[in-house]
Amino acid sequence: MEKIEDFSLSCPIPIQQYPKVLLAHGGGGKLMNQLINQMFAPAFGATSQKEGKEEIVQHDSVALQLPPGKIAFTTDSYVINPLFFPGGDIGSLAVYGTVNDLAMSGARPLYLSAGFILEEGLPMETLWRVVRSMQQAAEIAGVRIVTGDTKVVDKGKGDGIFINTAGVGAIAREQLIAPQSVRPGDAIIINGDLGRHGIAIMAVREGLEFETTIESDSASVAPAVLALLEAGVEVRCLRDLTRGGLASALNEIASTGGVRVNIDENLIPVREDVRGACEILGFDPLYVANEGRFVAFVSEKDGDRALEIINSFNTDATGAVIGKVTGRSAGGSMGLVTMQSQIGASRIVDMLSGEQLPRIC
């Protein structure tokens, strides 16, 4: 995975004049236009060709060329604290999070919007780092940020920066990728080890130090998903393992699809440093958030092939078949998720009433 670390280019806004974001930067006047024209538009490529020359587009909307067929459309907001963490930041997270939501519908991500809510007093260099990070993440993910919005709130009324993104993607295949498509016998696959994002955030937030630095797994999963579809794998359902982690995703799918799911704890990859951190903090890795992980339900016959494809996108090849769909829920009852524990006992894996770690995305 290519890391986003190059923030060497200097901020295009004249720092000596405006070292921090002012309310006027969201007021629709000269300073707001300077912010858009000198920072956002050049970074995100919001330009058009006119007589062979590049010009900045200033309009209330953008006209897009979409391929024929169905499209996927999603939106998400990012309020993570802290803004920067090992393995990523709020900017790259906003891009990858929305790209991954599109991929979970079997869509090829095409376009993003970006809405910034900035707090008065935010250092301009901090905003530039976030913008550069979004620019590089969009290039890696193969999407274009084509429109956006900027608002500034009074000092103390925000938390530095919040970002809202919306995404549009082209549906790659006609097959319905949804919980309703899940069938008894389907193999359940995750694309890598669990828990790194949530623990990375917690470590920075609370000033915790471990023997090794735990980095977030934040990344685009679209290439792996599209490869599954292009290979003809019968993908029934996909879900990214963000808030609530693997356990919540499985419960949502089982409940909506009306099926019983069984997983094996011994088959679920969790790095030893993450497992140790979870034990110290009292967390269960099954419920810890991830930002570059998804669960795939595929037909039983395609399980091994799907895993091989998924692991071809993993440098550590930690994807694994962790269980299967054991049957339909009896009498129209809610779905059920069970797990064989490491000691051989069977237990119900339920959904948490809240979340273990707030503001992790």
Residue 272 lies in a domain: yes
The more confident residue out of 279 and 47 is 279
Beta strands in the chain (DSSP E): 47-50, 53-56, 71-78, 84-85, 88-89, 107-119, 144-153, 161-171, 187-190, 235-240, 259-264, 294-298, 320-328, 336-340, 346-348
pLDDT at position 1: 44
Domain end residue (candidates: 124, 143, 171):
171
Residue 7 lies in a domain: no
The CATH number of whichever domain residue 189 belongs to comes to 3.90.650.10
Residue 356 lies in a domain: no
pLDDT at position 16: 62
Domain count, the chain: 2
Of the ranges 37-41, 53-57, 152-156, 306-310, which one carries the lowest mean pLDDT score? 53-57
Same domain? For 326 and 255 the reply is: yes
Same domain? For 83 and 126 the reply is: yes
Q: Is the pLDDT of residue 306 over 50?
A: yes
The CATH number of whichever domain residue 81 belongs to comes to 3.30.1330.10
CA dihedral sign of residues 270, 273, 275, 281? negative
Of the ranges 183-187, 201-205, 245-249, which one carries the lowest mean pLDDT score? 201-205
CA 95 to chain centroid, in Å, comes to 7
- Determine the Cα–Cα distance for residues 68 and 240; give it in Å rounded to an integer: 26
- Determine the Cα–Cα distance for residues 153 and 110; give it in Å rounded to an integer: 31
pLDDT band at 343 (very low <50, low <70, confident <90, very high): confident
Same domain? For 133 and 199 the reply is: no
Residue 330 lies in a domain: yes
Measured CA distances, 69 to 64, 66, 171, 172, 223 (Å)? 15, 9, 7, 9, 20
Residue 17 lies in a domain: no
Same domain? For 122 and 232 the reply is: no
Domain end residue (candidates: 114, 144, 171):
171
pLDDT at position 157: 92
Same domain? For 193 and 316 the reply is: yes
* Residues linked to residue 346 through DSSP beta bridges, in sequence order: 340
* pLDDT (tens digit per residue) in 56-67: 557 788 888 888
Q: Is the pLDDT of residue 79 over 90?
A: yes
Same domain? For 32 and 154 the reply is: yes
Rounded mean pLDDT of 17-36? 89
The residue range of the domain holding 166 is 23-171
User: Whole-structure pTM over 0.85, yes or no?
Assistant: yes
pLDDT band at 192 (very low <50, low <70, confident <90, very high): very high
Same domain? For 186 and 289 the reply is: yes
List helix spans (H) across 78-142. 90-103, 124-141
Same domain? For 188 and 316 the reply is: yes
CA 250 to chain centroid, in Å, comes to 17
Residue 3 lies in a domain: no
The more confident residue out of 16 and 96 is 96
Residue 236 lies in a domain: yes
pLDDT at position 11: 85
Same domain? For 113 and 211 the reply is: no
Classified as helix, coil or strand, 357 is: coil
Same domain? For 129 and 235 the reply is: no
Same domain? For 214 and 317 the reply is: yes
Same domain? For 166 and 188 the reply is: no
Residue 2 lies in a domain: no
Domain end residue (candidates: 109, 140, 171):
171
